[in-house]
Amino acid sequence: NGDTLKFFVNGRMVMEREPDPEATLLQFLRRKLHLTGTKEGCGHGGCGSCTVMVSKLNLDTKKIIHYSVNACLFPLCAAQGLAITTVEGVGNTRTGLHDVQKKLIESQGLQCGFCTPGFVMSMFVLLRNNPTPSKDDIEKAIEGNLCRCTGYRPIVEAFQEFAQ
């Protein structure tokens, strides 16, 4: 009914009766679904550590479009009918890591690791939309992700291996 929010997270349907109109997607993912891979850094759209992928059907082209969003700014109730992918849905140590995650590890592209899920998601979304990105595309895709350890060089180098 109209009081129930329905959407998908990592391929599973989520139903929330009478969702909190003030909740963000980030709060819901972390507190209700216990998907704590998505991090809260700044809480204000400035750091990218809360990046998730939103997928929806474009009714004109009938194609599914994917885009990255800052879950800390995304109202939970705006998720109605959408498919959300979090870092847990990209890959993990139990079911296997995604190439984006493997490359970061091989290049030692992380220090404290707090920003890592956000970087992974930004790169993952880019590759979903464009499997043959240029170096420029890659730099643009991660420009909203901050690393407070300032370890950008190995991160960028890891991802540049996907450049065509």
Q: Which residues bind ligand FES (CB under 6 A)?
A: 40-43, 45-50, 70, 72
39 CB-near residues (< 8 Å, 6+ apart): 49, 50, 114, 115, 117, 118
Nearest of 164, 162, 125 to residue 142 by alpha carbon: 125
Distance CA 157, CA 54 (A): 26
Q: Which residue number, 70 or 85, has a Cβ lying nearer to ligand FES? A: 70
Least gap, CB of 84 to ligand FES (angstroms): 14
Least gap, CB of 158 to ligand FES (angstroms): 21
Q: Which residue number, 40 or 99, has a Cβ lying nearer to ligand FES? A: 40
Q: Enter the tokens of residue 40.
A: 């809260």
Q: Which residue number, 45 or 151, has a Cβ lying nearer to ligand FES? A: 45
Distance CA 75, CA 130 (A): 27
What is the number of the residue whose Cβ is closest to ligand FES? Answer: 72
Q: Which residue number, 49 or 162, has a Cβ lying nearer to ligand FES? A: 49
Least gap, CB of 114 to ligand FES (angstroms): 10
Which spans in the chain are helix H? 25-27, 87-90, 99-106, 116-129, 135-141, 152-160
Q: Which residue number, 38 or 162, has a Cβ lying nearer to ligand FES? A: 38
Nearest of 78, 68, 152 to residue 108 by alpha carbon: 152
Least gap, CB of 39 to ligand FES (angstroms): 7
Least gap, CB of 118 to ligand FES (angstroms): 8
Q: Enter the tokens of residue 117.
A: 């899920």
